């Protein structure tokens, strides 16, 4: 069984999808929205498995909606505009239904659900959509137990390099980002997030204390993690001292 939400600003579009869903008893409709703002609210509240999502809508576009979700469901876009098809597949949508579409075309889209792995594949590109929305993002999407969750950037205590990936450490949890640490450094606000080691970035708002260690320093964070400042980044830390 999959929980389904329909998002379309046109009543006729929502009605057609509901009609076609009658042939799929395993897909349970739990809600509808006719604009992007309400879509974010209802999707975050009910955590559906699948969303039929229009693109051009009042308030927020379908792509904007994705950047505001706490968890990323499977997405089948349903739209009258063909120019967004490439971008839709870049965020690993299950399918792209171009209005007007037939019942057979709808069934083909639904049949793709069994083999789709949207939740596991979408992090990089959906995170890219989120990070493109502002010079310094206030929120990012990160992986947590095979799903994507939204965390506030201000909750990040530190970031640690993890091979080609990065670990994002908050007070309560550690998340894995598909971005390397240098890529995250470029995207996060430099006045708050300081690179103190080739494998470490810290949030200066989360520093508890700074301790001298030989010719270098150890930074103790509010969660009691200790981060070594390498010699190459000493000047960065010294700028904080008055």
Q: What is the pLDDT of residues 67-111, one digit of tens each?
A: 888 888 899 999 888 787 767 766 678 899 999 999 999 999 999
Q: Report H helices in the chain.
A: 11-21, 36-46, 62-67, 85-90, 103-111, 118-121, 123-131, 181-187, 234-238
How many independent structural domains does the chain possess? 2
Same domain as 214, residue 161: yes
Residue-level pLDDT at 146: 67
pLDDT tens-digit map of 190-213: 889 999 999 999 999 999 999 887
Same domain as 150, residue 90: no
Q: Phi first, then psi: give them for residue 198, nearest 5 degrees.
A: -60, -20
Residue-level pLDDT at 213: 77
Q: How many CB atoms lie within 10 A of CB 190?
A: 12
Distances (CA, A) of 194 to 158, 170, 181, 186: 9, 16, 12, 11
Domain boundary, last residue among 63, 88, 121 = 121
Same domain as 227, residue 173: yes
Q: CATH number of the domain that 130 lies in?
A: 2.40.50.1020
Q: Which long-range contacts (CB under 8 A, 24 or more apart) does 38-47 make?
A: 39/5, 39/7, 39/65, 40/65, 40/68, 40/69, 42/5, 43/5, 43/7, 43/69, 43/73, 44/68, 44/69, 44/70, 44/71, 46/3, 46/5, 47/3, 47/71, 47/73
The mean per-residue pLDDT over the stretch 107-127 comes to 64
Same domain as 50, residue 34: yes
Domain boundary, last residue among 81, 97, 121 = 121
Which residues span the domain enclosing 112?
Answer: 2-121
pLDDT > 60? residue 126: no
The mean per-residue pLDDT over the stretch 131-136 comes to 56
From 12, 59, 51, 57, select the one nearest 29 (Cα to Cα).
51
Q: CATH number of the domain that 98 lies in?
A: 3.40.50.2300
- Model confidence at 122, pLDDT cuts 50, 70, 90, reads very low
Share of the chain above pLDDT 70, in %: 88
Return the bridge partners of 66, or none.
none
- Separation CA 104–CA 208 (nearest Å): 61
Token digits for 84?
Answer: 């967004």
Token digits for 14?
Answer: 């929502």
- List CB contacts of 227: < 8 A, sequence separation 6 or more: 158, 196, 197, 200, 202, 218, 219, 221
Average pLDDT over the chain reads: 85
Same domain as 109, residue 60: yes
Same domain as 61, residue 10: yes
Task: Report pTM.
Answer: 0.54
Same domain as 64, residue 6: yes
Return the bridge partners of 7, or none.
33, 53
Same domain as 107, residue 17: yes
Same domain as 153, residue 185: yes
Same domain as 90, residue 179: no
pLDDT > 50? residue 119: no
Share of the chain above pLDDT 90, in %: 50
**By the 8 A CB rule, do 169 and 144 touch?**
no
Greater confidence (82 vs 162) lies with 162
- List CB contacts of 242: < 8 A, sequence separation 6 or more: none
Domain boundary, last residue among 121, 149, 172 = 121
Greater confidence (186 vs 116) lies with 186
Same domain as 68, residue 136: no
Residue-level pLDDT at 90: 64
Same domain as 220, residue 193: yes
């Amino acid at each position: 069984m999959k929980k389904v939400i329909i998002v379309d600003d046109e009543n006729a579009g929502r009605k057609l999808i509901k009609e076609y869903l009658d042939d799929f008893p395993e897909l349970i409709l739990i809600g509808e929205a006719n604009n992007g703002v309400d879509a974010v609210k209802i999707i975050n509240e009910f955590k559906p498995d699948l969303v039929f999502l229009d693109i051009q809508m009042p308030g927020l576009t379908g792509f904007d909606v994705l950047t505001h979700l706490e968890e990323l469901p499977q997405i089948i876009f349903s739209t009258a505009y063909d120019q967004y098809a490439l971008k839709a597949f870049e965020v690993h949508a299950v399918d792209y239904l171009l209005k007007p579409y037939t019942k057979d075309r709808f069934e083909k889209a639904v049949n793709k659900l069994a083999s789709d792995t949207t939740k596991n594949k979408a992090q990089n590109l959906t995170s890219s959509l989120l990070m493109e929305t502002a010079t310094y993002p206030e929120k990012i999407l990160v992986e947590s137990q095979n799903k994507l969750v939204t965390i506030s950037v201000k909750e990040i205590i530190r970031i640690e390099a993890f091979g080609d990936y990065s670990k994002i450490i908050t007070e309560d949890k550690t998340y894995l980002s598909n971005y390397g640490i240098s890529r995250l450094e470029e995207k996060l606000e430099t006045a708050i997030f300081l690179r103190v080691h080739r494998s470490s970035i810290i949030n200066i708002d989360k520093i508890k204390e700074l301790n001298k260690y030989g010719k270098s320093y150890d930074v103790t964070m509010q969660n009691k993690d200790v981060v070594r400042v390498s010699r190459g980044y000493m000047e960065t830390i010294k700028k904080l001292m008055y």
